[in-house]
Amino acid sequence: MAKHPIEIFMPPNLLKAKVGGNGGLDPGAVKRAEEAIEELREDFAGWIVEDVNRLTETKKAYEKRIDSDTRDNLYRAAHDLRGQGTTFDFPLVARVASSLCKLTDDSHGWLRLPLQLIDAHVDAIRIIVRDGIKDPSNETAAVLAGELERQVDTYLEKTLGTQRAPQPA
């Protein structure tokens, strides 16, 4: 068996050249980025209301026409709120939206999702935003989020564990 010579290729580190000589971050750039985020936080109050309204509309569309497209739209609206909630100090919105994402994930898209559980998630998000609940230790909201997570887990375990139905073609 003939051995082939081993050749090691070391690509140049172009990132170091692009960032700057010592590879460190410019403190001024970091400060500007932090200031930009703070400005966005002020605008977020309006954005989150718009996104909650979009979530509400996608839920209504799903109720009217239960299919993969409306479920995907519902998932995307929840996913957006999950990310924005974390970024803009609404951790309970992020937590409830994450639970809704788990429920509407397309890996089990053939399931007919429980509308009451979807409604409960959307209502919880609406109330958290309406009341400006940003403290993740808010007892009522935290208990509600935990119960929604438990309900999703129970539903998925029960449904996926015992009633696997064929996916529609």
Residue 123 in domain: yes
User: Does a structural domain hold residue 5?
Assistant: no
Closest CA to 97 of 123, 116, 115, 78: 78
Q: Quote the pLDDT of residue 104.
A: 94
Q: Tell me if 10 is assigned to some domain.
A: no
- Is residue 20 domain-resident? no
Task: Kindly give the confidence (pLDDT) of every residue in the chain, 169 residues in length, as a single tens digit, with 9 standing for 90 and above.
Answer: 667 778 787 777 776 666 655 556 678 888 888 888 777 767 777 788 899 999 999 999 999 999 989 999 999 999 999 998 988 789 999 999 999 999 999 776 577 899 999 999 999 999 999 999 999 999 999 999 999 999 999 999 998 875 444 444 3
pLDDT at 152: 96
**CATH number of the domain encompassing residue 144:** 1.20.120.160
The domain containing residue 35 runs over which residues?
26-162
| Amino acid (1-letter code) at residue 40 | L
Is 87 domain-assigned?
yes
Question: What dihedral do alpha carbons 75, 111, 61, 105 form, nearest 10°?
Answer: 0
User: Which tokens hold the place of 115?
Assistant: 């509308």
Secondary structure class of 144 (helix, strand, coil): helix
CB distance 119 to 127 below 8 Å: no
How far apart are alpha carbons 145 and 99 in whole angstroms?
A: 8
Is 16 a domain residue? no
pLDDT of residue 17: 64
Amino acid at 152: V
Residue 12 lies inside a defined structural domain of this protein: no
Residue 45 token pair: 């109050």
Q: Does residue 127 lie in a domain region?
A: yes
Start-to-end Cα distance in the chain: 51
**What pLDDT is recorded for position 38?**
76
> What's the CA gap between 91 and 86, in Å, rounded?
5
Contact indicator for 128, 96 with CB cutoff of 8 Å: yes
Structural domains counted in the chain: 1
136 secondary structure, DSSP code: T
Cα(51)–Cα(19) distance, rounded to whole angstroms? Answer: 36
